[in-house]
Structure 1
Amino acid sequence: LPVLALAVPQIGWNTRIVRAALADEARAPHIDTAVLDGLPRHRILVHHLLPGALPTIAAGVATSTGMLLGGAVVVETIFNYPGIGSVLAGAVADRDSPVIAGVVAVTGAVITGVLLLADLVRTWASGGRT
């Protein structure tokens, strides 16, 4: 149940991001040319649509990481499930500043790392163009 509480909103969010990115890329002229050339649908998807939509998809997935970690605090508290969210909630209740600072630093480092990875994927997918 805790996994569903965290996953369902993220699945909906990321599905909308992927659909919008693919729909936006599908309006490109080279996609029309690939369709008119008679390429199979899976080849158009893998070789023409996904590379163009990958930067947007990577940014959307990276952005959802922060929402996932923030939601973990609430879900772990509600379901009494041990994890970083319950550690943070307990530290706030006990006014334990070093633990709060440590948890915030670790989650900040994780989010920064994921956003850096997404930027690297965006740079790679765009061929170094910014």
Structure 2
Amino acid sequence: MKKALDPHSALRSLAARLAQPRWSAAGSVATGMLGAHRTRARSFDAGLTVALTLDRPVSQAPEACLLLASTPEACDDALYLADDSLWLLRRFPERLTEVEFDLLLKQQLALAALLAGRDRAPPLVLPIAGRYA
């Protein structure tokens, strides 16, 4: 059965998946760990937002922004800097089914993996063997 979720029930569904969930006093914000990512989620009347930390140095934020901007599936996503970490924020639709919520959350986790910083080899310094015209 495809149960419809409003933003508040989607937040409760996400909180059930979090390790060590903590709730705000008003009950509209949940924090915890989702896999290896610190997670913050907040329900608004217009939808749920979920933020995941990225495994990428803050110094590589410009590259992450360019990669995110070049990803068509990321039109509801943004990056922000807080607590000396990069966060991937996603806005979820106001109404969605449990299956849609699960798929969009998995897509956000996959996008966080794509944006994760990887160890890169230093750029090669090529010898200049001659004159360039």
TM-score (norm 1): 0.26
Q: Which has the higher contact order (CA 8 A, sep 6+)?
A: 1
The higher radius of gyration belongs to 1
Which structure's residues are more often helix, by fraction? 1
Which structure's residues are more often strand, by fraction? 2
